[in-house]
Amino acid sequence: MKTSFLKFAAVAILVAACSVQVSADNYKGSKAYVCPESGKVFHGDKDCSVLRSCGASIVTTTAKLARQQGYTLCDACSQAIAAKAEAEAKEKAEAKAKKREEAKKKKEEKAKKKAEAKERKAEKKKAAKERKEKKREEAKKKREAKARKNAEKAKRKVEKAQRELERAQKEL
């Protein structure tokens, strides 16, 4: 029981290792460079450091053909491709984040502008209301002053009439 489990685990690890090996060949290019003296390895990058140290003349072929002939992608090239892909993904993520940040900023600015416009409008309305109120107050005061004046005038008239009446009564 225990040994069969170990066997199973070993197979699983082997399968996982193989799948890692397979996924490591993520070279999408068509050209392949081979150093004839360094075994069944091909390079995707012509400037690969391993290739640069090749003592023999480099053979240029296609990646498809190289794979068919059992060549596998060089580790350095594979790592460079992976690093490049990672860098590109990072750049993409950063660009996306930046875009998102800009959109957020734009939205905030728009909201701020809207709020400011609303405030301005409210202030304008308030000022207009105050002007109207003041005007109404002034008109009321004017009306009251006029009424007071009229009342005084009427009072004087009555007093004058009274005085005239008294004088006429004395003369009688």
Provide the minimum distance between the beta carbon of 16 and Zn ion in the complex, in angstroms, as a whole number.
24
Kindly state whether residue 50 participates in binding Zn ion, applying the rule CB under 5 A.
yes
Strands (E), 56-166: 59-62, 72-73
Nearer to Zn ion, 53 or 68 (CB): 53
Tell me which residue of 71, 76, 61 sits closest to 29, measured CA to CA. 61
Rounded Cα gap, residues 45 and 64, in angstroms: 15
Nearer to Zn ion, 13 or 83 (CB): 83
CB burial of residue 72 (10 Å; 0-12, 13-18, 19+): middle
> Are 81 and 27 a contacting pair, CB within 8 Å?
yes
Provide Rg for the chain, Cα atoms.
50
Helix axes 2-24, 75-171, angle to 10 degrees: 80
Binding pattern for the stretch 119-158 against Zn ion, x by CB under 5 A and - elsewhere: ----------------------------------------
Binding pattern for the stretch 70-89 against Zn ion, x by CB under 5 A and - elsewhere: ----x-xx------------
Nearer to Zn ion, 34 or 48 (CB): 48
Return the residue of 48, 63, 66, 81 that touches Zn ion, per CB under 5 A: 48
Provide the minimum distance between the beta carbon of 23 and Zn ion in the complex, in angstroms, as a whole number.
17
Residues that bind Zn ion (CB under 5 A): 43, 48, 50, 74, 76-77
